[in-house]
Chains A and B, each alone.
Chain A
Amino acid sequence: MYTTDQYEGILAETVALPGANGDWINAFFARPLGRGPFPGLVLAHHMPGWDEWYRETTFKFALHGYATLTPNLYFRAGHGTPEDVAAKIRADGGVPDDQAVDDLAGAMKYLRSLPYINGKVGIFGTCSGGRHAYLAACRVPGFDAIVDCWGGNVVMPPEALNDKRPVAPIDYTKDLPCPILGLFGNDDTSPSPEQVDQHEAELKKYGKDYEFHRYDGAGHGFFYYIYKAYRQEQAMDGWKKVFAFLEKHLSSRANA
């Protein structure tokens, strides 16, 4: 916990890393200054893209002691404002799941290559990023904890599957190797409370270490102070749960 007599420093910059297919993509990186060791955290950004909220959140996690890396999952769409780039991705039906997973895996490997990482790397995502984070945690060895905030389309009917999204993330649940924290709003429609029930039942079925919290009076994206969806009370409680969960599973004191 921070106290006012502490020295504090953060280094933050854009870096490049190899993602899917060996493509170099850019990423926003923020880490505490000092020798460490620090736990690592990969952020999977949401549908509105590699935007200011995600860069701020990268800083936020660094302030809390995490070497935090947020890859630009929309890098291949070209460059412009985050909204313009995200609008192009939205029109194209999103990025392919395999590509997003491999980009996030690239970010995880980048963190693991650094000398000041404590050996643990988690992943956090919201909205489509929650879904991508879940896919990455299930499919790529190397993540020690996952935070899924209102990830939509984890549960998918067969008719919703396509070339970009060939497998419903829930179908990978048996492969999830690490603890998961899920935060959801009960007024959300994607994921709906019923879909969250299905996801929870699947985690229970396979004996996974999970912690789901559901908030009344909140819908999709209730952390986003930039949108009308923001719910102050629920968001502040959610952040407490996020940091408690990550401290438990990623800190140097956490058991492997």
Chain B
Amino acid sequence: MCTMIVEKVKIEGSGKGTGGWFKLEGANVSYDHPFDAPYEHALNIDFVNESLGPSARVAVELSESAARALVQTILNVLDQAEAGGHIPRR
């Protein structure tokens, strides 16, 4: 946690961890030391349900460029879904 750059956001959905699917309650987004990705710092996202304990976690550790590409891709897909009438227009 050497950068201490972290934000939490409440989310809804499901995540699949080592014990199977579980209900998600939050996502913790940090730019800090990853556990596995080969970078000194990475964009880390932990999808969690804290009420189920620390093991209720789905983790990704991304390079900075990968994280930006992912964000843009998510927004692009949501825009397409909105344009296609699959979700209400904002």
Q: Which residues of A contact B (CB under 8 A)?
A: 47-48, 77-81, 83-91, 93-94, 127-128, 152-153, 160, 189-190, 219-221, 227-229
Contact = CB atoms under 8 A, between A and B. Distances in A.
Contact of A78 (B28, B44, B53, B59): B53
A87 B35 CA distance: 9
Counting chain A CB atoms within 10 Å of each CB, the highest count among B28, B39, B57 belongs to B57
29 contacts: A47-B2, A47-B32, A47-B33, A78-B53, A80-B55, A81-B54, A81-B55, A84-B55, A86-B35, A87-B35, A87-B57, A88-B50, A90-B1, A90-B6, A90-B44, A91-B30, A91-B46, A94-B1, A94-B4, A127-B2, A127-B33, A153-B2, A160-B4, A189-B40, A190-B2, A220-B40, A221-B40, A227-B38, A229-B40
Contact size range, B: 20 to 34
A9 B30 CA distance: 43
Interface in B33-52: 33, 35, 38-41, 44, 46, 48, 50
A48 B4 contact: no
**Which are the 3 A-B pairs with shortest beta-carbon distances?**
A91-B28, A152-B2, A80-B54
A47 B1 contact: yes
Interface string B44-76: 101010100111010100000000000000000
A80 B28 contact: no
Given A80-B55, A189-B40, A220-B2, A87 B28 contact: yes
Contacts of B54: 77-81, 84-85, 87-88
Nearest to B39: A228
Given A47-B2, A88-B57, A94-B1, 5 more contacts: A48-B35, A84-B55, A87-B46, A90-B44, A228-B39
Nearest to B7: A91
